[in-house]
Structure 1
Amino acid sequence: MNTSKMPLHFNGSLPSVPWNETAVYSSVDFFHKPDVAIIALYVVVLTASLSANTLLIFIVIKFQYMRSVTNIFLVNLSVADLLVTLFCMPVQIAKSVTLLWYFGEVTCKTVNFLQGVAVASSVFTITAMSVDRYLAITQSLRQPWMPSRRGACILLAFLWFLSLVIFVPLLFVAAVEREMVPVLARSKNGSVVWMQRSIEFCTETWPDSIKKELFGAFSFVLVYAVPGCIVVISYSLMGRRLCSVLPPFDQTEGSANSQQRLRLVRERKRVAWILLLLAVLFALCWLPYNILQLLVDVNAVKADSVFSVLPYTLLLGHANSAINPIVYCLMTRNFRRSLRKLICQDPDARFTSKIQHV
């Protein structure tokens, strides 16, 4: 998953001068055109994402009552978002300054691989949360769905493993490609001559176009289409249950017990809507980039035709890493109270874990 490069090919021989005899030489200005708008937006997104995700993880670790299964899923989502923030966003900022690659072969492979893994882990986590919410709401409240923290951690470990396996091919095809370009140089004796300079790009070198198309289609289906369908189905069934006329418990039971269960249903409904919002925002943020990348991978469109648009669609996808923790923290009472306690050190603040995010 890397921004497309514009290939350069020069034919014919050019007179050359040894580098040690060159007083000055022209830079390859064509590849150094900073996109100020992209850079400014990335700085804002990176700062917000780093701050919000770190804060969310810290709050869950610090306050024991915040360690519910739902919040464990959210911490995992924040870890994936931090991977994108720390490894992918700085590289995209550098690409907005110059198309040339200065970070070496290992970084080229690592960034491409980690971006795919982090995005896949985020998708799978959101999918797991949607199924968890569906089971929690649709199961009888007499025997509520209560997955253990250990079970949630095992599931998340499996999802990370699956994400790693899916994008292993990128470790083999991501590579630094070198091109020779002519530059104008001035030698010590004052004469101006053409010479060749080696420049580098981080790109994907597939054995053939068929494998590239298959991988593009495979990753799109497995990481975006199938999880998206599961999320839609889960929340559709969940919404039908929540919007039913009768609440999902026995009306003949005592009034106090019924009121307590009704409050639990309302809390679950509120959490379900928040998680649905996170899923919708994720889908909207990553849809433009996934569609464009799929079209490029299957050769439906030329990479050059979307060259100027692709960085902005990738920025929108990366912005989701900042949106996730901000939305959840702002819309969740326990997070707001925990944040207030953390900042203000209010000894009178009272927290309750009667209604947990299960």
Structure 2
Amino acid sequence: MGELSIDNDSTIEIDYTPYEERLETYIVPILFLIIFVVGVLGNGTLVVIFLRHRSMRNVPNTFIFSLALADLLVIITCVPFTSILYTLESYPWGVAVCKISESAKDISIGVSVYTLTALSVERYYAIANPLRRLQKKSVAILAALLIWLLAIAFALPDAVFSRLDEVEIDSNKTITFCSPFPNISDVDVYAKYNVFSKSLVYYVIPLSVIACFYILMAIRLHASANEMPGDVKGTQSVVQAKARKHVARMVLIFVFLFFICFLPHHVFMLWFHFYPNAKNSYNYWWHALKMIGFCLSFVNSCVNPIALYWGSGVFRSYFNKYLCCKNLEWSRNAQSNRDYDSNLNSTLRRRDQVTLTSIVCESQSLQDAYNPQHRQEVTIHS
């Protein structure tokens, strides 16, 4: 019998299998290499697009830029060092890398889920108040900065308490691993509070808030179809409604990907730390769930650029330009998406200006028609 580390914090006794005989020893490094390459290219391109193109610096894209930075943080600081956890038996890096990796992972998760929450709130107000500029770029930048500060604050315990610990496999072999929990007598109690609080703060509460705002958004979209004035109904109103729904749909895709990627991890951690007989019930099925949750939590750092590529014609054109060296060609749909996705309020204002101009022109035409001098000039020219 030997001992196996469970998520760098606890150990259980099972039949010990040498690392060279485990499937994850060969799968995890390949998967993490793919995550690293795709994540750096995708999120790095998003950062370049935001910084180099002023037209892309709107409120939703400001939050997407923050998401890309958070994903780059975890990819650069965690993926290269974490990829060998299931390849080498002992943690080869020092305590500094252990602290940086654990805290950077929490910062990235916090920024991601709180940014998605902010995006959901912003989309709701954009749909509920389409004629008001309640969300300005300066407000979005301030919100993004506050999100980063909040995520850093929540990650401080792991930055302080993470340490290197050792597990004895047998009398001749000891394994070193990185643990996010302090070296205290009641570490199991601390671990329970830590796991439960992270599940609430990083998963349950934010996703519940997002769900509430999307329910309100759906109610508002349903009601707005009957509230639209008669003079705005038609092709223009359909395009405007479609534009508002498009951005909200992209945010919902991001939220769904986050939900799927972190669900197995939270399920396993809560089961292992709160089920009384978890250590004895742990088997290779639970080990497989643990491995899936471990890998999916890092896959989440590279899926957002892929979703943007397939869901947005504007971003797809920019991705093709920077990654495939293609000319930036705007299709009619892509240009329409950019105009409406970038700033729905500007679109509505342009519509109002066109309507006002038409009214003025019609009024001027009526005045000219009843002007005697104008009628005389028309008669002469005729």
| Shorter-chain TM-score tier | 0.7 to 0.9
The answer to whether 1:147 aligns with 2:135 is yes
3-state DSSP of counterpart to 1:128 = helix
**In the aligned structure 1, how far is the partner of 2:341 from the partner of 2:88?**
49
The answer to whether 1:101 aligns with 2:82 is no
Map of 1:218 onto structure 2: 197
Identity of aligned residues (%): 21
Letter in 2 for 1:355: Y
1:83-162 counterparts in 2 under 5 A?
83-139=73-129, 141=130, 143-162=131-150
**In the aligned structure 2, how far is the partner of 1:155 from the partner of 1:44?**
32
Work out whether residues 89 and 175 of structure 2, in 8 Å CA contact, stay in contact via their aligned partners in 1.
Answer: no
- Residue among 299, 303, 316 paired with 1:336: 316
Work out whether residues 42 and 306 of structure 2, in 8 Å CA contact, stay in contact via their aligned partners in 1.
Answer: yes
Higher relative contact order (CA 8 A, sep 6+): 1
Q: Which runs of 4+ in 1 moved over 4 A?
A: 5-9, 31-34, 179-183, 196-199, 341-345, 347-353
1:75 Cα deviation from its structure 2 partner: 1.0
Work out whether residues 67 and 115 of structure 2, in 8 Å CA contact, stay in contact via their aligned partners in 1.
Answer: yes
**In the aligned structure 1, how far is the partner of 2:176 from the partner of 2:259?**
34
Work out whether residues 216 and 298 of structure 1, in 8 Å CA contact, stay in contact via their aligned partners in 2.
Answer: no
3-state DSSP of counterpart to 1:167 = helix
The answer to whether 1:239 aligns with 2:239 is no
Q: Which runs of 5+ in 2 are unaligned?
A: 1-5, 344-382
3-state DSSP of counterpart to 1:354 = helix
1:311 Cα deviation from its structure 2 partner: 2.5
Residue by residue over 1:182-213, the C-alpha shift from the partner in whole angstroms, topping out at 9 and shown as x without a partner, is 68xxxxxxxxxxxx576522123443222221
3-state DSSP of counterpart to 2:243 = helix
Letter in 1 for 2:101: V
Letter in 2 for 1:203: S
**In the aligned structure 2, how far is the partner of 1:8 from the partner of 1:231?**
37
TM-score (norm 1): 0.80
3-state DSSP of counterpart to 2:83 = helix
- Residue among 311, 317, 334 paired with 2:291: 311
**In the aligned structure 2, how far is the partner of 1:282 from the partner of 1:259?**
35
Work out whether residues 131 and 231 of structure 1, in 8 Å CA contact, stay in contact via their aligned partners in 2.
Answer: yes
Map of 2:230 onto structure 1: 251
Letter in 1 for 2:58: S
1:294-305 counterparts in 2 under 5 A?
294-298=270-274, 300=276, 301-302=278-279, 305=283
Work out whether residues 175 and 202 of structure 1, in 8 Å CA contact, stay in contact via their aligned partners in 2.
Answer: yes
Map of 1:56 onto structure 2: 46
1:44 Cα deviation from its structure 2 partner: 1.8
**In the aligned structure 1, how far is the partner of 2:221 from the partner of 2:328?**
37
**In the aligned structure 1, how far is the partner of 2:341 from the partner of 2:134?**
11
Residue by residue over 1:309-352, the C-alpha shift from the partner in whole angstroms, topping out at 9 and shown as x without a partner, is 42321111211111111101221121122234444453765757
**In the aligned structure 2, how far is the partner of 1:216 from the partner of 1:348?**
48
1:260 Cα deviation from its structure 2 partner: 3.8
Distance 1:166 1:98, change over 3 A: same
Give the paired residue count. 322
Residue by residue over 1:3-57, the C-alpha shift from the partner in whole angstroms, topping out at 9 and shown as x without a partner, is 2367599xxxxxxxxxxxxxxxxxx993555621222222222221111111111
Work out whether residues 117 and 167 of structure 1, in 8 Å CA contact, stay in contact via their aligned partners in 2.
Answer: yes
| Bigger helix share | 2
Over aligned residue pairs, what C-alpha RMSD do you find? Answer: 2.9
1:297 Cα deviation from its structure 2 partner: 3.5
1:61 Cα deviation from its structure 2 partner: 1.7
3-state DSSP of counterpart to 1:99 = coil
1:91 Cα deviation from its structure 2 partner: 2.2
1:72-87 counterparts in 2 under 5 A?
72-87=62-77
- Residue among 298, 303, 307 paired with 1:323: 303
1:290 Cα deviation from its structure 2 partner: 1.4
Which is worse superposed, 34-43 or 326-335?
A: 34-43
Work out whether residues 72 and 149 of structure 1, in 8 Å CA contact, stay in contact via their aligned partners in 2.
Answer: yes
Map of 1:4 onto structure 2: 8
Work out whether residues 178 and 200 of structure 1, in 8 Å CA contact, stay in contact via their aligned partners in 2.
Answer: yes
Letter in 1 for 2:308: Y
Map of 2:157 onto structure 1: 169
Distance 1:129 1:199, change over 3 A: same
